[in-house]
Each structure stands twice: as C-alpha cells, then as structure tokens.
Amino acid sequence: MTIKTALMRGAAFGAFAALAAGATAHAETTTTKTTVKHRHHVEHVVAVADGSTAEEIRVLKSEVEDLKARLDAQGQAQQATAAQVAQTQTQVQEAAANAESAQDKIDTLPEQVNVAIGQLPKPKPSWADKTQIGSTVFADFSDIEQKNNGARVTPSGTAFDLKRAYIIVDHQFNDVYSANLTTDFQYNSTVGATELYVKKAFVQAKYFPWLTIRAGATDLPWVPFVESLYGYRYVENVLIDRTKFGTSTDWGLHVLGSLDPIGGPTGPVISYQVSAIDGTGYKVVPGTGSAPRTDTLDVEGRVSVKWMDFTAGIGGYNGKLGKDAGATYNAPFNTTGVPVTFHTASRFDAVLAYTSGPYRAGVEYLNATDYTAVTSKAADKAEAYSVFGSYQFLPQWAVFGRYDYTQPNKDTAPSRKDNYFNVGLGYTPVKGVDISLVYKHDKAENGTFSTSNGVIGNSATLAGHSNDGTYDEVGAFMQLKY
C-alpha cells in the first residue's frame, strides 16, 4: 500500500512539472513575437519622423550656433569691460595718490611762504603800525521845557543836540611808553559857534601794573571812575560833574595803578590815583590870559577796592581851583593889597556800588568846603548824594534810573536845594551803539543853581513865588563808540 501511494505521488509530480514547462515555453514565444513587432513599428515611426523634421533640426542647429556666437561676443565684451574697469580703478588710485601728494604740498605751502617772506627785506616800521584812532559821540533829539517861577524860558523847545564828539588817537611807542590825544567838540551858545577843546593830551610811562605816570591833560581820579560804575554817562554827567563840584580831566602830573595782593579770581583789587593839577579844567590851557600861571597846584586823589562784585572808593580834592594867579597879581594880594583868594577849596568823595551781570546799583556822596567861595570872604559848604541803578532784562534792553539831591550853599543860602532825577529805557542794537528813551526832571528851589544842563532857577524875587526853577526834558539819547 505504501509503495503504491508513493508511485502515484511521483506520477502526479511529473505531470505537473511537464505542464509548467510547456506554459513557460509558450510565454517566451509570445513575448519574442511581440518585441519584434514593436521594434518594427518604432523603426517605421523614426523613418517617417526623419523625413518630416529634417528642416526643423537644421533651423534649430542654426539658432544654436547663432546663440553660441552671441554668448562668445558677450563674453568678449564682458572681458573688455572688466579690463576697462580695472584700468579706471588704476587711474582713480593714481588720481587719489596725486591728490594726496598735492594736499601735502598745500599743507607745507604756508610754511614755505612764511620762510620766503622772512627772507624778504623788512619794511621800515611806521608810526601807524602802533596807532589806534577812535571816536565817541554823545547826541540827543529831545524837547526841553524850562521855567522860572512858572514862566517858560530859554532853552525851551525841540532840537537835535550834539553834546560831545571826541576824536581819540592812541599811540604805543613800546611796552612802556605811549601817548594819547583826545579832542572835544562842543557848541558854545555864547559865541554861537562850535568850539574845539583838547580834552586829553598826555604822555604815559607804565612801569608796572601798580605804577603808571602820566604828564599832561588826562582823566582825573574821581569822575571817570564813577562813570565806569554808573554806565550812563551819555545820558547825564555823574553827580560832582553835573553839579560843577568837579570835572573829568585837567592838566598836570598823574600817578596811578592797581594791584591784586592775593591774586584770587574775586580780588580784592586795590586801585589808586593821585593828580597834581592846575585846577582850571581841560577847557582852558594853563598859562594863557584866562588861566594864568598860579602859585600853587591843586591835588586830587582816590583809592578804591573791588572785591567780588562790590566796589568801594573814597577820594578828595584840595586847592585854589586855578584862581591863585601869581603871574597877574602880587600873590596872595593884588596891586591894591586885597587878597586874591580867601579860601582853599576842599572836597570829600565816597562811592559804593554793586555791578554784576545785568545789575548795577550804587550811591555816591560828596561834601565840599569853600568850593564856591575861594574868592569870597564868606565861607561856605555843600553836600550832595546820588543814587543810581539799572537792570538789563534782555541782552539788548535795560531800564535805569537815578536821583540826585544837592545843597550847594549850606552856609550862605541854606534853603537853596536841587532835586534831580531821570528814568529811561535803553537799547543796544550792536556793540558801540547805545540808544535810550529818557525823561529828566530838575528843580532848583530858592535861587539859581548851575548844572551841566545850564542855570536853573531865578535870582530875582517875585511876589508870590519862591524863586524856583524847573527843567524837564524828554527825548532819545545816543552814544556812538568805535
């Protein structure tokens, strides 16, 4: 049974293998026939295509060759451009190098010029090389109303007035010696003409900051000093100048200087000046008919201290005011045996001021003895003070004011008084030019009083009046300095 089963299984396996082999052979025969048939079809299509697209292929080859030619031309152009760029860069670098070389030459040119100039023959020094010329002008356009006992008198009216016109010439001989000439133009109503004065004419030797010597007509110790603190000289003279108890310059010998003993930034700085003078003022040349030589010299002096923003000063005057005329009289008596001068004038001055930034404030005081009585038998005294202040509220704008009180004859006319004030608005458009709108008022009580604005008051007795006089002025005042 077992052998029979095995034989049957082997016969079945052999039949299955023969069947599989026959199927495989049939598949291969079919595949081969299909492949041959497909190849024959492709070859037929290619043959047809070769005949219909030959022209297109030729055109395409032509376009490809043309494109290649263009690419070659473009490459050559790019190479030419690159070569040109490289050449331009080289030229730019060369130009930069040349410019740097030229700049080096330019930088050394001033030194070469200086060397060349230094080798040239030097011109002879001229006096003009160390000479400066300047000017100061005081002018106003104003309306004045002056009254005596209520009646309007001269110089009432409106007019343009040229108060002062200084021409200033400074010359420096060397570091020590110098000279100054300052002329003053002023209208004289008495003669009806403009007169020329020599306000300053001096030679100066400055040996040290604390020792300067001047010979001739120059600033006196007090008036110019207070003017520098007041700041509004072009509007009005300072106290002793306005009231005729002093003047600004005179002829004589002057010693002045300043020193800083500590050397700190805030001081104190000590200044002084002593002047031995003729006493007649600068408007009269000494030794002339109206101001003959005198037997004595007057002396004026001042010492002041500036500490931080404060300035304090005291000064004085002593002399005959140029009235001791020894060349005309047998001094101290004239030909009839009558004394020429009975008294010696003296004056004490003091000032205290604060000047800082936009602020100015100060007070000035004077006490004079026999200043108006040198040639009078009766002795006399005078006393006065002045208060002033200003505030610069903008860089070009300021307000200011001042008040003066004077008793000119305390012994001979104790009721005679003078009250003066001014107020103003100042404008400085440029350095050296000052313009102010100002109102002034002056009242002389119980007699006349001589001021820088003329004689105010009335000497004649009028019933129902106290011999008063008033002076009112309003206008624009100007200072020009260069």
**pLDDT tens string 108-150:** 777 776 777 666 676 677 777 899 999 999 999 999 999 988 8
- Is 267 a domain residue? yes
Examine the pLDDT at 237 and tell me if it is beyond 60: yes
Q: How far apart are CA 250 and CA 407, in angstroms?
A: 25
Closest CA to 378 of 369, 387, 391: 369
Q: Is residue 452 part of a domain?
A: yes
pLDDT at 335: 54
Treating both helix axes as pointing N-terminal to C-terminal, what angle do 2-52 and 54-119 enclose, rounded to 10 degrees?
Answer: 70
Predicted local confidence at residue 479, as pLDDT: 97
- pLDDT the model gives residue 115: 74
Q: Residue 210 pLDDT more than 70? A: yes
Average pLDDT over residues 410-432: 96
Peptide bond into 155 cis (omega under 30): yes
Q: Give kind and range of the element (H or E) at residue 50.
A: helix 2-52
Q: What is the pLDDT of residue 375?
A: 86
From 50, 70, 88, the end of a domain falls on 50
Both 313 and 459 in one domain: the answer is: yes
Q: Which two tokens stand for residue 339?
A: 């004394």
What is the C-alpha to C-alpha distance for residues 316 and 344, in angstroms, rounded to an integer?
A: 13
Domain membership of residue 23 as a residue range: 2-50
CATH number for position 326: 2.40.160.10
Question: What is the pLDDT at residue 429?
Answer: 96
Tell me, yes or no, whether 113 and 168 share the same domain: no
Same domain as 288, residue 429: yes
Residues 250 and 310 in one domain: yes
**Whether residues 27 and 153 fall in one domain:** no
Mean pLDDT of 266-277: 94
Q: Is residue 228 part of a domain?
A: yes
Q: pLDDT grade, residue 45 (50/70/90)?
A: very low
pLDDT 10s digits, 61-118: 888 788 887 887 777 877 877 778 788 788 878 877 777 777 777 777 777 767 776 6
| CA 378 from centroid of its chain's CA atoms | 53
Q: Are residues 167 and 278 in the same domain?
A: yes
Higher pLDDT, 156 or 463: 156
Report how many domains make up the chain: 3
Burial of 11 (0-12, 13-18, 19+ CB in 10 A): exposed
Is 427 a residue whose pLDDT tops 90? yes
Query: 110 with 139, same domain?
Result: no
